[in-house]
Structure 1
């Protein structure tokens, strides 16, 4: 049965490289029969967090937040694409994620991290893992780091290195396992 796994992109920079990784992931998941809509902070144009979605009176949240909340409530899992800014999480990603909370509960997340260098963004991923768990969408044990993203993916997100497809296959097999297990469990109820 197909899964709904929004791909949350973290960067808002004009020359952002993460869009290549997001395109790769979306295509990869769709080729496996899953739905993977892009959640792009550039398109969302969310203000710096002043009020979370849940803090608006019912029906009074901005349309963008209503649409996103509806998508997140239907999601089976989340894929978060993060670069590494000063060894940490990009501010655009943190701002996007912080607008919601309960909408994430009881759903796994998977971290795709990237950088222009050889570390592939893993230092940011370690901090992101703690944040995602706190938000109620713990990350799966594996990461999909994309080092030297300028050489690893072309502008359309096509892999330029043979190892990426193999790594992505194992990574998404793991995410699908967690997503299906937690979807099944959510149908039986959650602790609250």
Structure 2
């Protein structure tokens, strides 16, 4: 089954390394026959949240929000690629997510977290997991933490450490399982 899984990158820094993880995961999703568009806050240029997408009168939302709303309504799951900023969620990721709500409902999410150090961003993953659940897209049980990302993946997303292929395969298997299961339930109807 082909799925649509937007890969939402959480950093806008000029020297960001998370783009490597996004490229890696997009390539792995596409190799499975899935559609995996990159949602890059650096390219979107969204303002700090003033109004959510749903708060704009029909047809008046900024073009970037209209594009994302269309993409998200057709998504089967969402994959976050998150750094860890001061043990928390990167502001660019939070801002990108906060513009929407209903578009996420009843779809699973997954978290790939990373850091330049040894903890792989897991301290940011915990508050992110709570946020994703509140937004209506609960995260799958597994995480894909990537410590020392700058050594684990080349700039183009090619792995330099063998463990990452095996870990990513299990992680993406789990995401696909949840996406297919929730997709079937959405077809039968949702609680509201």
TM-score (norm 2): 0.99
Is structure 2 residue 46 aligned with structure 1 residue 51?
no
Q: C-alpha offsets along residues 11-36 of structure 1, whole Å, 9 cap, x if unaligned?
A: 00000011000000000000011000
Who is 2:41 aligned against? 41
Q: C-alpha offsets along residues 104-135 of structure 1, whole Å, 9 cap, x if unaligned?
A: 00000000000001100000000100000000
Who is 2:132 aligned against? 132
Gaps of 5+ in 2: none
Who is 1:94 aligned against? 94
Q: CA deviation at 1:94?
A: 0.3
d(CA) in 1 for partners of 2:99 and 2:163? 35
- The aligned runs of 1:6-45 (5 Å cut-off) are 6-45=6-45
d(CA) in 1 for partners of 2:155 and 2:74? 30
Who is 1:160 aligned against? 160
SS of the equivalent of 1:131 reads helix
Q: How many residues align?
A: 192
- When the two chains are superposed, the root-mean-square deviation of aligned CA atoms in Å is 0.4
Gaps of 5+ in 1: none
d(CA) in 1 for partners of 2:15 and 2:62? 28
Q: CA deviation at 1:54?
A: 0.3
d(CA) in 2 for partners of 1:40 and 1:150? 19
Who is 1:119 aligned against? 119
Q: C-alpha offsets along residues 160-186 of structure 1, whole Å, 9 cap, x if unaligned?
A: 000000000110110000000000110
TM-score (norm 1): 0.99
SS of the equivalent of 1:156 reads coil
SS of the equivalent of 2:118 reads coil
Moved over 2 A (4+): none
SS of the equivalent of 2:66 reads helix
Q: CA deviation at 1:59?
A: 1.0
Who is 2:73 aligned against? 73
Who is 1:107 aligned against? 107
